[in-house]
Amino acid sequence: MTQPPSSYIALPPALPTELLDYVLAHQAYPTTLVICTTRAQFLNSLLRSLQNDKIPGAEDVSLPPPSSPDADPLARAAPALHPLLVPTLHQLAISRYVDTVFIPTLAHLRAYLSVFGNGSSVTENGEQGRPEMRPWDKPGRNRPLLVVYGLLDLHRDTSEWSAQGLGISMAALVEAGKRGGRGVMVVEGKGEDAGGDRDEKMGEEVAGESEADLGEVSGGDRERKAEIWKGWFERMPILNGSARRVGFESEDGGWSGRTVEVGRVLGRWFRFGRADWDEE
């Protein structure tokens, strides 16, 4: 089977903070971040992620003793801020040219993708396009991106939770990226909001037949892939509208008819890659 182009990548599940860090570090104008949930739900998830994240190097910071003349009462009282909460010049400049779109339903997503890339150079937050590149400017390695966060969960528990339904959405996503000249990236959420219990259950199946199936899709070291993509061993029916057998659990998830792993469906459209938060 022909491998998908390297411009279409599926990354490991990420927390909201990890996603935003990655986009700020690797994007180039123009970049669009599609959040497959409501604004309120994403902000709540982001807030929990900020509260739970460990601040890099915070434990190494040594403050002067309270009796020291250099001690600042405000500095002693203020906790260390997460890097995303520090308004650096780089962060302020980059964020102006990253469009963030909140899409709560699958119908909204497909409608948005059908017209994506047909607009002008004005970003959705009202900013004009970036200044024209000067002759001495050198293009970097970063590229314009279309990032979709939570694509699978948008299909879950709907009649489109199938290889057919997911394939339709991914075809529209790839077409939109090509039309807009963007690299396409899909990332799922992780943690409580992304079904941590489900990921744990899927991890127990790594040593089974699912590992071999995923290896056929992604290639390379199957053991390493199984560890990274264990959340994508979940099975889905082939066709839309398949019925689920109530009270019956099995390797196929209780679906009637033929099923396939989510990873195999994704592997037809995207390459599996590694991300900054996945590096050991």
> 9-19: per-residue pLDDT in tens?
999 899 999 99
> 214-223: per-residue pLDDT in tens?
444 444 455 5
Is 0.75 surpassed by the pTM of this model? no
Ordered DSSP codes for the chain: -PPPPTTEEEEEEE-HHHHHHHHHHHB-SSEEEEESS-HHHHHHHHHHHHHHSPPTTGGG--PPPTTSTT--HHHHHSPPPPGGGS--HHHHHHHTTEEEEE--SHHHHHHHHHHTT-S-SS-TTSPPPPPPPPTT----S-B-EEEEESHHHHHTTSTT-SHHHHHHHHHHHHHHHHHHT-EEEEEEE-SGGGTHHHHHHHHTTTTSHHHHHHHHHH-S-HHHHHHHSGGG--EEESSTT--B-TT---TTTTBSS-EEEHHHHHHTT-EE---GGG--
* CATH top class, domain 8-51+80-120+141-194+262-278: alpha beta
Q: Give the chain's mean pLDDT.
A: 73
> 100-149: per-residue pLDDT in tens?
999 999 999 999 999 998 764 444 444 444 444 444 334 445 789 999 99
